[in-house]
Amino acid sequence: MIRRLLSKRFVRILLCFFITLVTLVVLLYVWTNWSGRRRWAATKAMIEHEGETLDHLSLLPVTPAAAQNLLAIEPLDGITDTVDHDEAKGAPGAKRQALAALNLEAKAPASSGVDKGEMPDMQAWAKFLRETKYLDLPAESPTPGKEILAALDVKFPVLKQLADLAPQRSQAMFTPGLRERELPEMLFSLSLRHYTAAQSLVRALCLRARAAIDAGQGVEAARSLLAAQKIGLACESEPLLIGLLVGNSAETQANEGIWLGLRERAFPDADLRLLHQLLSTHDLDKALLQACRGEMAFGLNVLEYLQDAAAGRKKVDQGVASLFGRDQQSLYRSAMLVPGGLFDHWKSVIAEQEWKHMINPLRKGGIAAAVKSAEGMNTEMQEKHNLVLHPDYIMARLVVPALSHVSATVLFVQARERQALAAIALERFYLKHARYPAALQELVPEFTTAVPLDPCDGKQVRYRTTPAGRYQLWCVGMDGKDDDGEIKKNGVPMKSPDYRGDWTWQYEPVKKDSKK
């Protein structure tokens, strides 16, 4: 038996099999590299032909002059910087540490006025802030808003400073801006600690606005909300998906404050005009488009970095390796196993999918078109689920589907923003005429240049007055069906693609027996 196994004939067969296997592997590598290079060259040519760019540097915003930059004030100036690659060192680290005290770590009382028509309970807020030692407040007070406002301004003077300067400074960007910062070779490792500061500032400013409204200080409230909105716009100005989401979160919180101030008729006309001016110049279609462009460029940068490392053209930095949960050698060995052409296929699929299903629809039809196109993208990703048959879709399946969820979220934020625009114009009309108009068209041109459009179907935002003497505004929502302003409490968040009711702005609490 042993002699047969070791016979020359068997050895020749085994050798031929081995040579054939090696040849097939080599041919597969050669073909993958050849086809990948061709595909990537064609994809880049297509992107450039369409007037798009893969150069992330060209997408970076220009930093405004300090005199016009709301976020260039001393407590915030320089917080995106690092000293000796240590985020805790120096003045930037000290400023970030000081801003960390703004963070409300524990679960705060709910604020869901826009979605549910519910007023915030300022006594509950005072109790929460006192028990968590966030603010030094008296045990009981008949004027909790006044006490909270005063305590916030004593402990965090940066909030009043931002509110006071918000009407005067037309722009906002954290400094140093991305153009002035030293960007890492692999952009995925870029420090974004200022987004944490942005979230803390916005939440505290919106708390300040609620307290000011309760205290009857509408000017302070409006200007706190103006500052919060501008911080959100500062995050959105950076071409990053996470920046867009942080900005959207800021706008959502500020809209809660706008809803409350309008409900209480707390804002004077001059400040309503400032809020309307800011919101009317905000272009969320453009913001999402820029974020998708940046996400594509930054994502491709990551793959190019790993591709260069695998080819020995670049040494893997330990900081980069730690992002992937590996050490330098482990990440380098893993990258070496991947044919260079497969990296090119991965880059091509990501660029093709983001162009086809996000960037191009956004350019042609805005966020609503991108939401619809994302359904096709998800279908395509599901069809390519077999990674053995479709190895070129491995990275796209990890990256691209998240964009569809983002586009749906941004559509909801855009609808709320347009409702806020209409609501502000309605309150300005009321201040002048002591009544609400029969139709939104009466607001044009004195209180708004045009009736805001429902981003879901392109028609005017729906409107009617209510028996309680106020009004309802609504958009048709993700399903595109007009439910006459009905909010359907079926346990599904309004911004979910599965929600089937309207997105409604109203001042009366949502009825508990709303249809499911």
DSSP assignment of 194-237, as one string?
Answer: HHHHHHHHHHHHHHHHHHHHHTT-HHHHHHHHHHHHHHHHHHHT
Cα(474)–Cα(462) distance, rounded to whole angstroms?
Answer: 5
Instruction: Report the 10 Å Cβ neighbour count for 45.
Output: 10
pLDDT of residue 417: 97
- Structure tokens of 66? 């300090």
DSSP 355: I
Cα(223)–Cα(229) distance, rounded to whole angstroms?
Answer: 10
Cα(343)–Cα(356) distance, rounded to whole angstroms?
Answer: 20
How do the pLDDT tens digits run along the chain, 516 residues long?
555 555 666 667 767 777 777 676 677 678 888 999 999 999 999 999 999 999 989 999 999 999 999 999 999 999 999 888 788 889 999 999 999 999 987 788 877 778 888 889 999 999 999 999 999 999 888 999 999 999 999 999 999 999 999 999 999 999 999 999 988 888 888 889 899 999 999 999 999 999 999 999 999 999 999 999 999 999 999 999 999 999 999 999 999 999 999 999 999 999 999 999 999 999 999 999 999 999 999 889 988 888 887 777 767 665 555 545 555 566 556 666 677 788 899 899 999 999 999 999 999 999 999 998 888 888 888 888 887 788 888 888 877 767 778 898 999 999 999 999 999 999 999 999 999 999 999 999 999 999 999 999 999 999 999 999 999 999 999 888 999 998 876 677 887 777 888 999 999 887 765 443
- Structure tokens of 226? 């103006």
Cα(291)–Cα(370) distance, rounded to whole angstroms?
Answer: 13
Sign of the dihedral through C-alpha 171, 175, 180, 186: negative
pLDDT of residue 8: 67
Cα(263)–Cα(277) distance, rounded to whole angstroms?
Answer: 20
* Rounded (10°) angle between helices 218-236 and 157-165: 90
DSSP-based three-state secondary structure for 505: strand
Among residues 226, 2, 421, the alpha carbon closest in space to that of 413 is found at 421
- Structure tokens of 115? 């979605």
pLDDT of residue 155: 96
DSSP-based three-state secondary structure for 510: coil
The residue type found at 500 is R
- Structure tokens of 134? 């966030």
Element (H, E) at 366: helix 360-383
Cα(257)–Cα(440) distance, rounded to whole angstroms?
Answer: 23
Q: What phi, psi does 504 have (nearest 5°)?
A: -115, 140
Instruction: Judge contact between 172 and 70, C-beta under 8 A.
Output: yes
Strand partners for 83: 86
pLDDT of residue 515: 45
Cα(353)–Cα(226) distance, rounded to whole angstroms?
Answer: 37
Q: What phi, psi does 83 have (nearest 5°)?
A: -110, 120
Instruction: Judge contact between 459 and 485, C-beta under 8 A.
Output: no
Sign of the dihedral through C-alpha 496, 500, 503, 506: negative
Sign of the dihedral through C-alpha 397, 399, 404, 409: positive
Instruction: Judge contact between 367 and 379, C-beta under 8 A.
Output: no
Cα(300)–Cα(40) distance, rounded to whole angstroms?
Answer: 11
Half-sphere exposure of 180 (CA within 13 A, CB side): 14
Instruction: Judge contact between 321 and 456, C-beta under 8 A.
Output: no
Strands 503-505 and 462-465: unpaired
Instruction: Judge contact between 189 and 319, C-beta under 8 A.
Output: yes
Q: How far apart are the first and last CA of the chain?
A: 76
**Assessment of whether the complete model's pTM goes beyond 0.85:** yes
Cα(226)–Cα(271) distance, rounded to whole angstroms?
Answer: 9
pLDDT of residue 364: 94
Cα(485)–Cα(464) distance, rounded to whole angstroms?
Answer: 9
- Structure tokens of 143? 């004027």
Q: 252-284 in b/e burial notation, b at 16+ Cβ within 10 A?
A: bbbbbbbbbbbbeebbeeebbbbbbebbbebeb
Cα 6–9–11 angle (5° rounding)? Answer: 50
Rg (Cα) of the chain, in Å, rounded? 27
CB-count exposure of residue 22 (10 Å: 0-12, 13-18, 19+): exposed
